[in-house]
Amino acid sequence: METQSLPPAGFFRRLGALFYDSLIILAVIMMAGGIVVAILEALVAAGVMNYAPYTDASDFLGNHPFWSPVYTAYLAFAWIYFLVFFWTRAGQTLGMRAWKIELQNLEGGRITVTQALIRIATSAFGLANLSVPIDPQKRGFHDIWAKTKVVVLPKAK
């Protein structure tokens, strides 16, 4: 099977994968946040720290001048790592697998970490896919910048 002959993924297939992956990423972010809250609660229970003048872990993580941006960066890292890990290792996130699409470099192989980061930075949280219907090669704006393509995989026999 030649990867060059695979058709490009259309807008609605990409949207389906994006929605599916959004739910998975939401769960990943909730787990990552839960780990931090569990650690904070354990520290409070052990008497190592307290939340004063904050009311609870949420207030502390959301409003502390130092920990709030650190916590936000941590959650962003978890989100970005999820995408980079799956795109560079398998060419697919779980949502892309469900919708039978794959992310490739222009030669049909796996993308690099740099390409993945460029794709994330230029994706505008998925809005870059709005250029898919008007591009003759069905590329998103982020695909053009990262020199990648999203193709439809053949049906399994």
Beta strands per DSSP E along the chain = 101-105, 148-152
Q: Check: CB of residue 28 under 8 Å from CB of residue 8.
A: no
Q: How confident is the model at residue 3 (pLDDT cuts 50, 70, 90)?
A: very low
| Mean per-residue pLDDT over the chain, rounded | 95
pLDDT at 2: 44
CA distance 15 to 21: 10
Q: Where are the domains of the chain?
A: 7-38+76-152
- Residue 149 — φ and ψ, nearest 5°? -145, 150
Q: How confident is the model at residue 25 (pLDDT cuts 50, 70, 90)?
A: very high
Q: What amino acid is encoded at 113 in this protein? A: V
- Quick: pLDDT tens for 78-136: 999 999 999 999 999 999 999 999 999 999 999 999 999 999 999 999 999 999 999 99
